[in-house]
C-alpha cells in the first residue's frame, strides 16, 4: 500500500533500517508535509517527488528544512520517492531524480585543498571523467592512496562538465565540474565513511570504490544507502558507524556468535570477582583454542609445545590481565613475553592471542 504503513514496512524490510531511524524518517516526512501544506504520503507523482527531492536536498531552496534531524527529512523524502517508484513498477532514475557521483582524491598525487581535499562552502573545480553530472547532482569525495581511506566529503554540483587546463600538465586539458562542498569529515573521529564499511555497503552491487577515474556514477539503490549512512554517521566515530551498521545487518550481526562471546567474558568476570577459579580447562580456551568465542586467531594460536611448557606463566599472566587490562599492563605483558622468548620458553610472541585475552578481559574498552 502506498501509505505511511507501507512506507514503514519498506524501510524495515527493504532498507533494513532500525526502528529509531524509521521513526525519524516518518517525523521528517511530517515536517515536510507541514512545510508544503500537503500530505507527502498522498503524493505519488514521480516527477513532482523528484523536484521535491531537489528542493529539500543539499543545495536546494528548502535545504535548511531538508536538513532537519541531521538530514532525516531529505533522506526520508528520497526513500518515499524510491518506494513509490518501486510500487508503481518504475524506477527513480536519472530522468526523475538527481544522480550521485563518486569523485576521487589521492593526496599522494594532489595535495591542495583542506584536510578532506576540499573546504566546506568553497566552490571548487574537480576532475570528472564523466560529462553527465548536472547542477543539483550529489557528489561524494573519496580519499584513496593513504589511510584512513574512505569518503571524506559530500557536496553538490554547481557547474556541469567543462574543459580546462590539466592540473598536472599545463600543455594539456582535462574535464572538470564545479562542486560546492557541503560537509567534510577528514578523519575517523569526525566520522568519515571507512573503506571497510563502504565495501560492505556495496557488496551486493560489486561497486568498485577504488576506481582510478574520478566521476563514476553511483547506481541506485546503493546511492540511497550511501546518503542514509552518511546522514546516520554524523557525529559518530567511523568505528561506531561500523558497529551500528553490523548490528542492524542480518548477515553481519552474527546472532549465533553473541551468546558464546557473552559466556566467555562473563566467565572471566567471575574469575575477576573471585566467584570462579582459573582452572586448566578455562586456561586452555583463554590461550590455546584457535576460535574460543571471543575471536579466531588461527593460524596464530599457541603451539602445543609452547602452551604446555608455559602453563604457570600463562596462568599468572592471564590473572594479571583480568585484574587490570589497562595500557600499562598491556605494555608490561609484551615485555614479560619477550623475557620468556629470551629464556627459550617460547618460540615466538603470539600477538593476536595476547590481544584476544585483553579483548575478553575488558570488553567495554
DSSP 134-182: -TT-EEEEEE-SSSSPEEEEEEEEEEEEEEEE-SS-TTSEEEEEEEEEE
Q: What is the mean pLDDT of residues 132-157?
A: 91
Contact predicate 40/32, CB 8 Å: yes
**Confidence (pLDDT) at 114:** 67
Q: 307: pLDDT confidence band, cut at 50, 70 and 90?
A: very high
Q: Which is nearest to 260 in space by CA: 360, 352, 353, 358?
A: 360
pLDDT at 237 over 70: yes
Higher pLDDT residue, 284 or 20?
284
Q: How far apart are CA 286 and CA 191, in angstroms?
A: 34
| Domain positions in the chain | 4-87, 100-218, 258-361
pLDDT at 136 over 80: no
Q: 128: pLDDT confidence band, cut at 50, 70 and 90?
A: very high
**Confidence (pLDDT) at 92:** 45
Q: 94: pLDDT confidence band, cut at 50, 70 and 90?
A: very low
Q: 95: pLDDT confidence band, cut at 50, 70 and 90?
A: very low
**Confidence (pLDDT) at 93:** 42
pLDDT at 197 over 80: yes
Query: Would you tell me the crossing angle of helices 280-287 and 311-323 to the nearest 10 degrees?
Result: 80
Contact predicate 285/237, CB 8 Å: no
**Confidence (pLDDT) at 90:** 53
In the chain, pLDDT over 70 holds for what percent of residues?
A: 96
Contacts 24+ apart (CB under 8 A), 14-19: 14/86, 15/79, 15/224, 15/225, 15/228, 16/248, 16/249, 16/250, 17/228, 17/248, 18/248
Domain 100-218 fold: ph1033 like fold (3.10.590)
Contact predicate 130/257, CB 8 Å: no
**pTM of the full structure:** 0.62
pLDDT at 112 over 90: no
Arithmetic mean of pLDDT over the chain: 88
**Confidence (pLDDT) at 206:** 82
- Which of these ranges, 12-21, 239-248, 284-293, 346-355, has the smallest mean pLDDT? 12-21
Contact predicate 44/88, CB 8 Å: yes
pLDDT at 99 over 90: no
pLDDT at 86 over 80: no
Q: 89: pLDDT confidence band, cut at 50, 70 and 90?
A: low
pLDDT at 180 over 60: yes
Amino acid at each position: 500500500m502506498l501509505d505511511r504503513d507501507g512506507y514503514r514496512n519498506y524501510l524495515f524490510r527493504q532498507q533494513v533500517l532500525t526502528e529509531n531511524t524509521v521513526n525519524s524518517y516518518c517525523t521528517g516526512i511530517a515536517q515536510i508535509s507541514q512545510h508544503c501544506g500537503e500530505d507527502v504520503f498522498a503524493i505519488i507523482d514521480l516527477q513532482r517527488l523528484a523536484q521535491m527531492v531537489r528542493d529539500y536536498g543539499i543545495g536546494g531552496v528548502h535545504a535548511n528544512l531538508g536538513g532537519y534531524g541531521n538530514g532525516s527529512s531529505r533522506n526520508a523524502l528520497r526513500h518515499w520517492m524510491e518506494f513509490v517508484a518501486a510500487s508503481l513498477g518504475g524506477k527513480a532514475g536519472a530522468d526523475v531524480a538527481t544522480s550521485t557521483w563518486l569523485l576521487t582524491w589521492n593526496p599522494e598525487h594532489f595535495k591542495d585543498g583542506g584536510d578532506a581535499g576540499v573546504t566546506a562552502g568553497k566552490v571548487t573545480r574537480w576532475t570528472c571523467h564523466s560529462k553527465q553530472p548536472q547542477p543539483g547532482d550529489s557528489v561524494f569525495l573519496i580519499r584513496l592512496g593513504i589511510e584512513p581511506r574512505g569518503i571524506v566529503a559530500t557536496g553538490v554540483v554547481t557547474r556541469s562538465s567543462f574543459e580546462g587546463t590539466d592540473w598536472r600538465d599545463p600543455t594539456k586539458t582535462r574535464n572538470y565540474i564545479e562542486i560546492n562542498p557541503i560537509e567534510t569529515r577528514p578523519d575517523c573521529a569526525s566520522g568519515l565513511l571507512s573503506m571497510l564499511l563502504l565495501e560492505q555497503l556495496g557488496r551486493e552491487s560489486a561497486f568498485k570504490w577504488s576506481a582510478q577515474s574520478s566521476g563514476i556514477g553511483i547506481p541506485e539503490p546503493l546511492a540511497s544507502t550511501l546518503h542514509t549512512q552518511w546522514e546516520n554517521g554524523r557525529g559518530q566515530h567511523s568505528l561506531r558507524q561500523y558497529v551500528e551498521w553490523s548490528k542492524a545487518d542480518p548477515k553481519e550481526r552474527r546472532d549465533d556468535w553473541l551468546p558464546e562471546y557473552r559466556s566467555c567474558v562473563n566467565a572471566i568476570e567471575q574469575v575477576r570477582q573471585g566467584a570462579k577459579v582459573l582452572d586448566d580447562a578455562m586456561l586452555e580456551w583463554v590461550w590455546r583454542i584457535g576460535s574460543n568465542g571471543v575471536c579466531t586467531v588461527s593460524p596464530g594460536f599457541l603451539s602445543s609445545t609452547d602452551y604446555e611448557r608455559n602453563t604457570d606463566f600463562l596462568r599468572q599472566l592471564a590473572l594479571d590481565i583480568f585484574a587490570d587490562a589497562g595500557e600499562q599492563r598491556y605494555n608490561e605483558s609484551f615485555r614479560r613475553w619477550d623475557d620468556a622468548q629470551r629464556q627459550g620458553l617460547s618460540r615466538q610472541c603470539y600477538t593476536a592471542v595476547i590481544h584476544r585475552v585483553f579483548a575478553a578481559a575488558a570488553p567495554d574498552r
